[in-house]
Every structure is written in structure tokens, then in C-alpha cells.
Amino acid sequence: MLSVHTSPLHQPGTGDAGGMNVYIVELSKRLAELGTEVEIFTRSTASALPPLVELAPGVLVRHVTAGPYEGLIKEDLPAQLCAFTHGVLRTEAGHRPGHYDVVHSHYWLSGQVGWLAADRWGVPLVHTMHTMAKVKNASLAAGDTPEPAARVIGESQVVAAADRLIANTDEEAQQLAEHYGAHAGQLSVVHPGVNLEVFRPATATPTGPVGDALGNPAAEAARVRAIRARLGLPQDAVVLLFAGRIQPLKAPDVLVRAVAQLLDESPELRDRIVVPIVGGPSGSGLAKPEALQKLAAQLGVCDVIRFQPPVGQAELADWYRAATALVMPSYSESFGLVALEAQACGTPVVAAAVGGLPVAVRDGETGFLVRGHDPRAWARTLRRFVDHPELGARMGAAAARHARAFGWDAAARRTAELYADSIARTRAAQARGMATATAR
């Protein structure tokens, strides 16, 4: 696997680490459990990092030196792809011929490296876009920076070179076909999963059925009260949680504006609403890292907004459990793993009706989908949890059941099948080529 611009060892919610990191880590672990050895190549970002780290049994992370260890942003990395490719090819040269059976690249930068490596080794290139420049540019947040033409060209090249393109949803597969000319024989849809051992209702056990926990609402409520006390959240508050990278694309400002709208309409709610924002500045958000705090001050809602640094999965699960609802106003999401994680914890989701979120969230059953980014529309939807206190528990129970269908085991099995099919197709094509050359 190739993950040039972000390491699977980095904390999601910081820098460029996010859903893609979770995707690579969880998929790799499950593939290893199925008997597929995985090596993840990523760029080294510190001189003290060891060349090789065991992430899990059967999963190795290789740190490749490519450019300065620190100080490079994602936009600087195309200039380092030659050095990164050299490190990948040099590693393979130290093994017996045919050591790697398939290359799976993630994001377009990795696809550029994978394109050359797969061609050099005579193995299939499987690629997952995660996000696409043309899709992002079609739905930019106000003030956000468009993706450059170089990325559009690079993505088109990767699509043309890939033997298999794994899309998160049917919509993403359609976008690959419409915007980049991907053909049906390349495209396969595999829904991402969620770690159901970590993300589960408060009273569920890691291996027990979710129904056991949901069947005892009193015990669940008591556990949630304890979690809220530990996190310093009021017991009777409506907790509207944002979790993720703070950048215009994720639109946390829409949530802040919607809450300000709610309080303008009903000032008496000020003591009943808490909005934790768990995450750190990322991407174009790094240009103005304090912009969201300043917006909250301008709108007069600093007293209800709580900024929290990114946290590990176990603590993040508690934030989900403590929330009345998770709010995802994103302008673009290839899938929205955060939405699945929250639902697996028994928390409904209010999400923008974009990308893969309509697949992750069942509108009116496990949460609500909001069209557009008008804060007034978001305020109306969020108010439903204020006016109907029972809504969170009812939708949360449905959300937990819904999320059970998205385990990583199923995603890994389907991905392994696609690897095997891609390998077989590549070898058959090579055999036909050899037969034709011999005939000549």
C-alpha cells in the first residue's frame, strides 16, 4: 500500500490525517487477518523515525525518506515523488523477484508512485481516490482554495493507469466515470467499515450483540451520564458534536452559525446547548487557524462552543456517546467515516446530503440529511433535538443497528477478492502478450 502524504501512524484529526488514515489502518489489519501480508509505504516526517514499524501482525509501515522531514505541506509533495518512488523501488529490489503481488495506492499522489511501481513489477495497480479535485472544486466552501490543475491532470493519469478503481459508493464510481473517463471494467464499489469493537454503545461489550445494550435504555443512560461527567459536560444539555479536521471543506463554521441562529431565536436555550469541536486545523484551515474561534466570538457564542484537541479512538468514542447528535456540515465527503463511528456508538447524525453521507446516514431514521449550507436550515434541523428530547435515544438505537452492517471484515473480504481478480486478469493479459510475441 502507498500513502505518500499522510502516515497511518499519525493521529486522525491532526494535519492531513483523517478518514483515509483510519481506512488504511483498519483495512490493512483486516487483510492481514485474512492472510494477506501488507506493507505500507509512507513519507518519513522525522529523522528519528525507524525505517520499519510493525503496525499489527502482518502489517508493516515503511518510512521512506523523500525531501525534508519537516516543513513540507501537501502541496509541496509532487516535487518529492521521484525520491519517494526511488525509495519504494529500492526496497523491492532487495527482495526476491515477484515479492509484491499488487500495489494499492491511496490518494492521487500515491497513485503517481503506484503507477510506475506496478508497471515496473508487472503487477496490477489498485487505486482508491478518497477525494477528487473535480468534485471538491464543484462544491467549494466560501473562501476555500480550489484544487490546482496539476492535481486534476495527475488524477486523470492515475485513472488511465489503474487496473482497478475502488470507490466508496455508487455515486463516487459514477463521478469517476463522468469526470475522469473511468470505464466499467475498472470500477468496483466497496463501502468502508467501522471498528465495531471500539465504536459501540456505552453498555455494549466488544464482542456482544448490540441489541443487548440497546435493550436496556436505563443502563445505557446511566453510562452516558458517567461519560458526560468525565468529559465535563452538563448532564441535561443538548450536546451537538463536531469531530474532524477544522478546515473550510468540513464546514464547522456552518454549525457555529446555526447555533448562533438558534440562540438568537431562543435565548433561553443558551444554558441548554453545548457544542464541542474535537479536532485541529488542517489543509487550507491552517492559513487561518484561529478563524473559527474568532467567528464564535463575533457571533457571541463562545460560551457554548468548546474547542478540544484531537483524541485517540477510545476517547473519541466517548465523545460520540456523550453527544446528543454528531453534526457533519461538510461540502464534500467521499464517504464520511465519522458518521459511521458516531452511529455505531448509538448517536444520530445530522449531515450534509453530499458524497457518501446519504449512504452512511438513513435520513429520518438514524439522523437527518440537510441540503445546502444555509445556517437557518441547519438550525431548524438541530432544534428538533431540543424540542423532542426522546429523538436522540430513538434515532441512536436505529443508528447503532444500522452501523453494524458496516464492519471492516466485510470490506476487507471484498477488497481481497478484488486483489485476487486483478492479479488473475493481469497475469492472463501477460500470458496472452507472451503468446502473441512467441507467435511472431
* 264 is annotated as contributing to ligand binding: no
2-193+408-439 and 210-405 share one fold: yes
* 436 is annotated as contributing to ligand binding: no
Q: Residue for cell digits 454528531?
A: 326
In tens, the pLDDT along 161-217 reads 999 999 999 999 999 999 999 999 999 999 999 999 999 998 876 655 555 556 577
* 219 is annotated as contributing to ligand binding: no
The packing angle between helices 391-403 and 217-231, to 10°, is 100
* 323 is annotated as contributing to ligand binding: yes
* 19 is annotated as contributing to ligand binding: yes
Superfamily of domain 2-193+408-439: Glycogen Phosphorylase B; (3.40.50.2000)
CA dihedral 156, 160, 161, 162 (to 10 degrees): 90
DSSP bridge pairs for 52: 62
In tens, the pLDDT along 65-77 reads 999 988 888 889 9
CA gap 337, 357 in Å, rounded: 9
* 5 is annotated as contributing to ligand binding: yes
pLDDT at 284 over 90: no
Instruction: Using a pLDDT cut of 70, give the percent of the chain over it.
Output: 94
198-224 burial by CB neighbour count: b if 16+ within 10 A, else e? bbbbbbbeeeeebeebbeeeeebeebb
* 16 is annotated as contributing to ligand binding: yes
Nearest CA-CA partner of 41 in 101, 103, 99: 103
* 21 is annotated as contributing to ligand binding: yes
* 18 is annotated as contributing to ligand binding: yes
Give me the pLDDT at residue 209, please.
55
Nearest CA-CA partner of 84 in 106, 62, 101: 62
* 250 is annotated as contributing to ligand binding: yes
* 425 is annotated as contributing to ligand binding: no
Expressed in percent and rounded to 5, the helix, strand and coil fractions of the chain are 50, 15, 35
Q: How far is CA 290 from the centre of its chain?
A: 24
pTM of the model: 0.86
pLDDT at 262 over 90: yes
* 333 is annotated as contributing to ligand binding: yes
* 42 is annotated as contributing to ligand binding: no
DSSP bridge pairs for 351: 328, 369
Domain layout of the chain by residue ranges: 2-193+408-439, 210-405
Mean pLDDT of 90-114: 96
CA gap 155, 153 in Å, rounded: 5
* 320 is annotated as contributing to ligand binding: yes
* 347 is annotated as contributing to ligand binding: yes
Mean pLDDT of 405-414: 93
* 376 is annotated as contributing to ligand binding: no
DSSP strand pairing (52-56 vs 59-64): antiparallel
* 11 is annotated as contributing to ligand binding: yes
* 136 is annotated as contributing to ligand binding: no
Largest Cα separation within the chain, whole Å, is: 85
* 197 is annotated as contributing to ligand binding: no
Nine-digit cell at 53? 514499524
Residues 6+ apart with CB under 8 A from 399: 342, 343, 344, 346, 347, 348, 349, 366, 367
Helix (H) or strand (E) holding 425: helix 408-439
* 339 is annotated as contributing to ligand binding: no
CATH architecture of 210-405: 3-Layer(aba) Sandwich (3.40)
Give me the pLDDT at residue 437, please.
77
